[in-house]
Amino acid sequence: MSNVLSVGVIGAGGIARSHMNAIEANDNIQMVAVMDVDADRAGAAAERFDATVYTSLEPLLDDARVEAVHVCTPHYLHADQVVAAAEAGKHVLVEKPMALTLADCDRMIDACDCAGKILMVGQVMRYYPVSRTIRKMIADGEIGQVGHLIRRRYSFFNPTPGGNDSRHWYLDLEMGGICVLYCFGPHEYDILHWYLNSPVTQVYAQGSASTDLYRGQKDSYTAMMTHENGAVSVLSQTVVCHTSAHDQYIIGSKGSMMLAGGNLTLNGEEVSVEGATRDGMSNQIREFATCCLEGSEPDASGHSVRHSMAVIEAAKISAERNAPVLMSEFDRD
């Protein structure tokens, strides 16, 4: 068995380039092919990383050298591309969001399970050194029993800066889903239950459209989640705030932690963290390659991340109903 995984990257946009750079930085994975419907973009990536270029999916999946694929395409394409890759005998790392519906998440999981292939989702925040530090500190009981977690992500994201931008699809619910939930939310909702190692059991959320930038989409959400272990987490998000914030507070029976600007403090004292946020993508891709080569399950497996997508679905539905939603509503039959 080879100790280097050969992969093809589906998509050659901005997030795909991040994957390509991280692949190049790791010694247990190599990119041998890239596909994009934009021939110029695909060609530029292929030349930069010395890979075979494709402009449609089928020839890449037919390439016998390709053992696994990275799916880095717009949200609405994920499910069908993952299923096709699994049926072609490829392992899959798919960018977040896993998919726009739980039915599609289940199709992806079933296809990869049936083929005996790895399905991993690009929940890169799980692979930040500071995230790993926080999770371990909680597990080790350094702040006692966690009772409350508050997290904020406020930013301004304009998908049509020039009216002609390729990101216009973020405004289309069929292509991108509600942007604040499905573009940025997959990171935020995923990290909460992952920190606590405790699934969400109930969600109550409210959403609003503070501006007309998103053409009728809600651009801000706040959700309160009850976890199986009794903790309560609160997530507040917006994509139309001109002053950004990305921070969190975790309160336990013996102490509290705060994370702001990448700096972690425990009871007001700074915690030293080995490694930086920029290491997350490389860490994630190294784990993907290791799992594919060894046949082990990644932390951010499709089965694990399905719960995160169900929490997002619950938040969306809770806001529509103006009522709490039980997560049992989204259990698989």
Tell me if the bond preceding 97 is cis, omega within 30° of 0: yes
Residue 1 has pLDDT above 70, yes or no: no
Given this model, what pLDDT does residue 166 score?
64
Given this model, what pLDDT does residue 313 score?
98
Q: Which residue, among 86, 6, 107, has the nearest Cα to 49 in the 3D structure?
A: 6
Given this model, what pLDDT does residue 259 score?
98
Cα separation, 84 vs 45, in Å, equals 23
Given this model, what pLDDT does residue 315 score?
98
Cα separation, 322 vs 275, in Å, equals 42
CATH 3.30.360.10 fits 128-275+308-330, yes or no: yes
Given this model, what pLDDT does residue 169 score?
85
Cα separation, 3 vs 128, in Å, equals 25
Cα separation, 77 vs 100, in Å, equals 10
Token pair 């942007």 in the structure block, residue = 179
Query: In the 8-state DSSP scheme, what is residue 56?
Result: S
Structure tokens at 169: 């699809």
Domain boundaries, given as residue ranges, for the chain: 5-125+282-301, 128-275+308-330
85-101 residue pLDDT tens: 999 999 999 999 999 99
Given this model, what pLDDT does residue 159 score?
86
Q: Which residue, among 102, 19, 25, 109, has the nearest Cα to 33 in the 3D structure?
A: 19
- Taking CA atoms, 90 is separated from 43, 81, 120, 245, in Å, by 23, 11, 12, 39
Given this model, what pLDDT does residue 165 score?
55
Give the Cα-Cα-Cα angle 232, 236, 239 (nearest 5 degrees).
Answer: 160
287-309 residue pLDDT tens: 999 999 999 999 999 999 999 99
Across 128-154, average pLDDT = 98
Counting residues of the chain whose pLDDT is more than 70, the rounded percentage is 98
152-203 residue pLDDT tens: 999 999 987 665 556 788 889 999 999 999 999 999 999 999 999 999 999 9
Spell out a b/e string for 187-204, using b for 16 or more CB atoms within 10 Å of the CB, else e: bbbbbbbbbbebbbebbb
Across 244-269, average pLDDT = 97
CATH topology of domain 5-125+282-301: Rossmann fold (3.40.50)
Strands of the sheet containing 269-270, edge to edge, are 269-270, 263-266, 256-260, 240-252, 146-156, 232-238, 220-227, 200-208, 325-326
Given this model, what pLDDT does residue 207 score?
98
Determine how β-strand 240-252 pairs with β-strand 256-260. Answer: antiparallel
Residue 13 has pLDDT above 60, yes or no: yes
Structure tokens at 187: 């990171």
Query: Residue 70 pairs with which residues in a beta bridge?
Result: 9, 93
The rounded mean pLDDT for the chain is 96
For residues 254 and 171, the answer to whether their CB atoms sit within 8 Å is: no
194-249 residue pLDDT tens: 999 999 999 999 999 999 999 889 999 999 999 999 999 999 999 999 999 999 99
